Structure 1
Amino acid sequence: MNFDLGDLRAFLAVADLGSFRAASEALHLSQSALSRRTDKLEQALGVKLFSRTTRRIELTTVGRGFVPRARNVLNELENALIGIQDVAERMSGTVTIACVPSAVAYFLPAVIREFHSQYPRIRIRIIDESSSVALTAVASGDADFGLTYIGTHDSDIEFHPLLEEPFVLAVCADHPLAGRREVAWRDLMAHEYISLAHGSGNRFLIDQALAQSTERPRWFCEVKHVPALVSMVEAGLGVGVVPRLAMPPVGHTALVSVPLKKPVISRTLGLIHRRNRELGTVARLLYDIIVRTRGSR
C-alpha cells in the first residue's frame, strides 16, 4: 500500500481535532498538504475515511473503526523504538501535565529530574492550576494527563489513585498550637484563620465535611491557591488548613503541621487521563515514572 507514517499521523490529527485547520496547525503543515496526505491514505486503502461538507468534517463508519488501528500502529512503532539502544536520548516531543499546585512540590521535582536525565530532548509543560482547571485541561486534550484529586466520578475520565492525604493545620513554629499533638476544628475559632476561597476544590471538600458543624472557624482572609495560604501563615498572619503534601518537610524551622480531628478530612490524590484514549508514548513515559516514584516513597 502506498502510504507512510506521516499519512497516518495526518489522519489521526484530523480525527482527534475534528478540523483540518486545527490539525494543520498542530502538525505545522499547510491545509493543502494535510489534505493531500489524507487523500493519499484514502486512495491507498480504497475507502472513504472522512465525510466532508462545506461546513464540517466527520469520520465515516469505516473511519471511526480505523482510528484505533492507526493509533495502535503508531504506538507499537514508538514502543519498539524505546527498546533500541540510546533511543531515549534521541526521543523528542512535548508532554503536558496538569497538576494542582499543592502537589507540585511533593511529586514533580524528583520526577522531572529523573525524566529529563533519561529523555533530555523531551520538553515538559506543567499547567499548575486549580483542580477544576486541571480536570478541564485533561478532558479537552490541552493536557496529556493530570495530577489532581477530582475526576473520580467523571464518566469520561480514568482516575488512578496514588495516595490518601489528610488536611492538616499549618502554623508558625512559635504559635501556641504548634506544640499540640492534634487539634480539633473548634480550637481554631479562637485564632486568626486564613481560608481558601470559594471555587477551590480543597475549600469544597472542607465545607462539605463541616456542613453540619456549628463550631467552625471564621476567616478574616481568603486566598485562591494553597501555596499562597502557606506563605501567609509563614508570614505570621494566622493559621490555615492545607493538604499535608503542601507543607514543607519535617524539620522546617518556620512552619509546623498539626493533625486535625473532629472531623478528620482527607482527599485522594491521583492521576487522570481521558477514558478509552491511550496515552502517547512520550506521555506514558512520564506517567509511569510518577507511578513508580509514588511507590518508592
Structure 2
Amino acid sequence: MSFKFTLHQLEYLVAVADEGSISAAATRAHATAGAVSMSLKELEQRLGVQLFIRRKAKAITLTAAGNRTLADARRILAAAEELQGSASTTQNDIAGTLSVGCYSTLAPFLIPPVLDEFAGKYPALTVQMIEGSADAVLDAIGDGRCEIGFLYKQDLPAGLECAVIRTSKPYVILADDHPLAVQREVKLADLADEPLIMFDVPSARNAAQLLESVGLTARIRHFSSNIEVVRSLVARGIGYSILVQQWPIDVSYEGLPIAARPIEDPTTEREVVLAWMSDTRLTRRAHALIDFCRLTFLDDPPDLVF
C-alpha cells in the first residue's frame, strides 16, 4: 500500500501546530525552515486539503481540516514510536514517551505517584503530564496531545473508553471543635442551618444537589476554586464543606485541625478513570499505567481520620 504522506511530514505538522511558526518548528525538528515549509506544502497537495492559514507577520494557524489531521498525526506518530520501541526492546520493557492528561482537582493525588513510582519503574520511559479542566483534558485526548487522561467517569462524552482506577464517596469536613465532629457519621439534615463553603469546581458542585436530594437547601457562605482556601475556612469554623477526594492530612494550610466525617445518608460513589479515544489502540505504555493505577489506587483509598 502506497501512502501519500511520510512520518517526517507528520512530525513537521505537529511541530508547527505546537510552536506556532515554521521557524520555531524547524528548530525543534532540527531542519531548515525551507525544508519544513516545502514538506508541509507537499503534504497539503497530497492530502488535497489546506492544513494551515498563513498570514504574514502572524502566527500560523490550523484550519478545521488541519486540526482533524493533527489529531490523526499525533496518533500515527505515537503508534510508530510504539512499533519502533517494541521492536527493539524485550516484552517487559516500557520505553518512549507517554503523554497523560489530568483533571486539575485530581492532580495532587495522582500526579506525584505517577511521576515518581510509575516513571521510576521504567527508566527508558518519559511521562509527560498535562493538567487542566475536564474540558481541557478531553480536548487534549481528542486532538492527540494526550494518549490517555485522568477524569471523572461522569465527565466522559460519547466516543471514549475508560478504566476505573479509583472510587470514592462524598464526605463532610468540619472544624475540629464543631459539635458534629464528635460523631462518626454526619446526617445531611444536621447541616441544614450551617453555612456551606463551596469548593467551586465542576466535580464538587454537586454538594448543593446532594443536599437538595434530601429536601434541604444549601446556605452557601463562600465559593472558592482553591481547595486550601476551602479547607482553611472550614478549619476556622466559618462553615462546613462537602468534598469527594479524601485529603491525606487532617490540618489546614494554616495548621489548624480539620475533622473529616462520612455522610450517613446514601450517596453515589464517584469513579476516577483513565480515559482514551475509543478508536485508539492503546500502547503498552498506556496499559502499564492502567495496571499501575489499578494496583496503587483502586483498593486503597485513604481512610477518614476519626
TM-score, structure 1 length as denominator?
0.70
* Cα shift at 1:207: 3.9
> Could you give the per-residue CA deviations for residues 231-276 of structure 1, whole angstroms, max 9, x where no partner exists?
3323443211001x33225899822221113342432111122231
Alignment partner for residue 266 of structure 1, among 262, 266, 269?
269
Moved more, 127-136 or 28-37: 28-37
| Partner in structure 1 of residue 103 of structure 2 | 99
How far, CA to CA, are the matches of 2:149 and 2:76 in structure 1? 26
Alignment partner for residue 51 of structure 1, among 48, 51, 55?
48
> Could you give the per-residue CA deviations for residues 50-98 of structure 1, whole angstroms, max 9, x where no partner exists?
2255966969xxxxx999888655422222334289x76xx56463422
How far, CA to CA, are the matches of 1:221 and 1:195 in structure 2? 6
Instruction: Describe how 1:140-159 pairs up with structure 2 within 5 A.
Output: 140-150=143-153, 153-159=156-162
1:138 pairs with 2:145: no
| Partner in structure 2 of residue 172 of structure 1 | 175
Aligned amino acid, residue 230 of structure 2? L
* Cα shift at 1:218: 0.3
Contact 2:184 2:262 in 1 (8 A): yes
Contact 1:186 1:217 in 2 (8 A): no
| Partner in structure 1 of residue 248 of structure 2 | 248
Cα distance change of structure 1 residues 117 and 75 upon mapping to structure 2, 3 Å threshold = closer
> Could you give the per-residue CA deviations for residues 216-236 of structure 1, whole angstroms, max 9, x where no partner exists?
330111112444422332344
How far, CA to CA, are the matches of 1:69 and 1:218 in structure 2? 51
Contact 2:100 2:129 in 1 (8 A): yes
Contact 1:149 1:267 in 2 (8 A): yes
Cα distance change of structure 1 residues 98 and 70 upon mapping to structure 2, 3 Å threshold = closer
**SS at 1:154's partner residue?**
coil
Moved more, 215-224 or 120-129: 120-129
* Cα shift at 1:154: 1.1
Gap regions ≥5 residues in structure 2: 54-62, 67-71, 301-306
Cα distance change of structure 1 residues 279 and 224 upon mapping to structure 2, 3 Å threshold = same
1:233 pairs with 2:234: yes
| Partner in structure 1 of residue 204 of structure 2 | 202
Cα distance change of structure 1 residues 120 and 76 upon mapping to structure 2, 3 Å threshold = closer
* Cα shift at 1:147: 1.1
Gap regions ≥5 residues in structure 1: 43-47, 60-64
Aligned amino acid, residue 104 of structure 2? V
How far, CA to CA, are the matches of 2:155 and 2:221 in structure 1? 33
Contact 2:134 2:155 in 1 (8 A): no
Contact 2:173 2:260 in 1 (8 A): yes
1:83 pairs with 2:84: no
Aligned amino acid, residue 120 of structure 2? S
* Cα shift at 1:113: 1.4
How far, CA to CA, are the matches of 2:248 and 2:18 in structure 1? 48
Aligned amino acid, residue 131 of structure 1? A
* Cα shift at 1:14: 6.5
1:276 pairs with 2:273: no
* Cα shift at 1:150: 4.1
1:186 pairs with 2:193: no
Cα distance change of structure 1 residues 170 and 238 upon mapping to structure 2, 3 Å threshold = same
Aligned amino acid, residue 87 of structure 2? A
Alignment partner for residue 9 of structure 1, among 7, 12, 22?
7
> Could you give the per-residue CA deviations for residues 97-121 of structure 1, whole angstroms, max 9, x where no partner exists?
22332x3333332232113423457
How far, CA to CA, are the matches of 2:147 and 2:96 in structure 1? 15
**SS at 1:174's partner residue?**
coil
TM-score, structure 2 length as denominator?
0.68
How big is the alpha-carbon RMSD for the aligned residues of Structure 1 and Structure 2?
4.4
* Cα shift at 1:182: 1.4
> Could you give the per-residue CA deviations for residues 190-235 of structure 1, whole angstroms, max 9, x where no partner exists?
33321123x62320x3344444543233011111244442233234
